[in-house]
Amino acid sequence: MLLRKRITSSITHFPTWCFFARMTHFFNLKQPIFDNGYLLNTANVADIEANINHRKGIGDIHLVHSINERLTKGTNLSEEERNVLSSQLLEEMGKIPNRTHPDVLSYGSDPRIVQRYNEHRKQDDRKYFQFGDICKKMNLYRMENLGNFTGHRSYYLTHELAELEHALINYTVDVLQKRQFQLITVPDLLPGRIIESCGMSVHGVRNQVYKLAGDEREPLCLSGTSEMALAGYFAGRVLQAERLPLKLMAVSRCYRAETSALQEEKGIYRVHQFTKVEMFAVCSPNQSSAVLEEFRDIEVGLFDELGLHFLLLDMPPCELGAPAYRKYDIEAWMPGRAMYGELSSCSDCSDYQSRRLGIRIGTGHNASESDFAHTVNGTACAIPRMLIALLENFQNEDYTVSVPAPLVSYMNGKQFIRRRKELPELKLTKRLLQEDIL
C-alpha cells in the first residue's frame, strides 16, 4: 500500500492547512520564560556551572548573574540600556543547558549498556560487504558522480531498495498507530526561532541547519527533524491536563548541513537529507519519565522484531546536548563496517522546549498558566541507518538479501532482494566499462 494513501487517510484530526495556518500565526513567538527562581538563585550557581561542564555546554552562569545584577541594581539605567540588558539576559539564559537526570551523573563520559538484544544474531562469521558495496553489486543505488547537480552526500535508491524504504516507513507507522499515535504531516520550512527553541543553533559558521536567504535575525530554515515542527505546532498554547499525554508521529524529510569525513561514516550513514519517522509527545511533568520509557520500549520492539542485534544505551551527560534531561540511544551491529552504529534515540526534554515555545498546561475551563508542559521525542525509523543495518546483516553469499519477516507483506510478498541484471540508467558510460559486474 502506498504511503501517500496511508497518510491521507490518517490525519483527519490534524488537517495540513490548519498546521500551516498555525505555524504562520505563531511565527512571532513571545519571549521565552525561563526558570528564574532556579537560574538566578546564587545558591545554585555551583550546581549549574558543574552541569554545564558535565554536558560540554557553552552557557556562562556567571555572566547571567552579572547581567542580572546590573539590571536589578542599576537604578540610573535609561530605558534603552535596560532593554538592551534584558535582551542580553534572555540570550545568555537561553544558552544554559537543561538539568541532568541524577541517575546519569555518575556515568562519566561513557554510556551505560542497559541491555544487549539478539546477541546470537551478531554476524562476524564471514566477509560482509558494506552497504555501498553490496548495493553496487546488486545495482540498487547510486551515490557517485552526483556532485554537479545534487551535491555532496546525495544518493538515489532504486528498485527494491526504494521499496524497502517505504516498507520500513509503513511498518513503523502501523506499529505506532496501534500505540495510539496520531499521524500528522509537517512542513519542511520553519522559522529559525522554532528550531533554536528546540535546542539546535541556526547561527554561526558551523551548524547543522540550512538557512534560506533572507533576514539573518529571523531566518527561515529547512527542518533537521520533524520534532521541531511538531513542537512548534503547540507553541503558545495552553493544553488541558486531562488530554495529556498527546502522542504524535510524523514522516518527513530531514535536512542536515554537516556531514562527516570519518571512514566509518561514509556512504549514506551521514547525509544531507533523509527520511525519518519521528515520535513526539507533550505531557505533564509527572508523565514525561514514563513516556520516555514507552518511547524506548517501542524502539526496542521495532528493531527486535526485525531480528537486529543492538545495544540499548543510557547516555552520559556529555552526550545529552542542550535540551535533553535524559536520553537513550540504540546502536545496531553493522557487520560490513565491523562496528556498532547509532540507529535511534529518544529524549526527555522536560520543560526545556516548552518554556521557549510557551507550551503550558491548564485544568478545567479556567486554565491556569502556571505549569509548563514536558516534551519527549524519539526516532522510530531513520531510513539510511536502517537500510545499512538490514543490508549488512541480512546479505547472503549469493548476493541476495533476506527480507525480515515483518517487512515481507510490505514488500508485496518478496522474501529476498536480488541482484538486478540490468545496469542503472543513470550510470556514466565510462564507469560502466571500468566496473566489474559480478
Contact status, residue 408 vs residue 417, Cβ threshold 8 Å: no
On whether 377 is known to bind a ligand per the annotation, the reply is yes
On whether 257 is known to bind a ligand per the annotation, the reply is yes
In the chain, the amino acid numbered 371 is D
On whether 344 is known to bind a ligand per the annotation, the reply is yes
On whether 225 is known to bind a ligand per the annotation, the reply is yes
| Cα distance between residue 427 and residue 162, in whole Å | 17
On whether 275 is known to bind a ligand per the annotation, the reply is no
On whether 289 is known to bind a ligand per the annotation, the reply is no
Spatial CA neighbour of 319 closest among 48, 108, 113, 114: 108
Three cell numbers at 123? 554476524
Contact status, residue 361 vs residue 238, Cβ threshold 8 Å: yes
On whether 252 is known to bind a ligand per the annotation, the reply is no
Three cell numbers at 19? 498546521
On whether 342 is known to bind a ligand per the annotation, the reply is yes
Three-state SS string across the chain, please?
CCHHHHHHCCCCCCCHHHHHHHHHHCCCCCCCCCCHHHHCCHHHHHHHHHHHHHCCCCCCHHHHHHHHHHHHHCCCCCHHHHHHHHHHHHHHHHCCCCCCCHHHHHHCCCCEEEEEECHHHCCCCCCCCCHHHHHHHHCCEECCCCCCCCCCCCCEECHHHHHHHHHHHHHHHHHHHHCCCEECCCCCEEEHHHHHHCCCCCCCCCCCCCECCCCCCCCEEECCCHHHHHHHHCCCCEEEHHHCCEEEEEEEEEECCCCCCCHHHCCCCCCCEEEEEEEEEEECCCCHHHHHHHHHHHHHHHHHHCCCCEEEEECCHHHCCCCCCEEEEEEEEECCCCEEEEEEEEEECCCHHHHHHCCEEECCCCCCCCEECEEEEEEEEEHHHHHHHHHHHCECCCCCEECCHHHHHHHCCCCEECCCCCCCCCCCHHHHHHCCCC
On whether 13 is known to bind a ligand per the annotation, the reply is no
Three cell numbers at 339? 562496528
On whether 271 is known to bind a ligand per the annotation, the reply is yes
Extract the annotated binding site for ATP. 256-258, 271-274, 342-345
Extract the annotated binding site for L-serine. 225, 256, 278, 377
Extract the annotated binding site. 225, 256-258, 271-274, 278, 342-345, 377
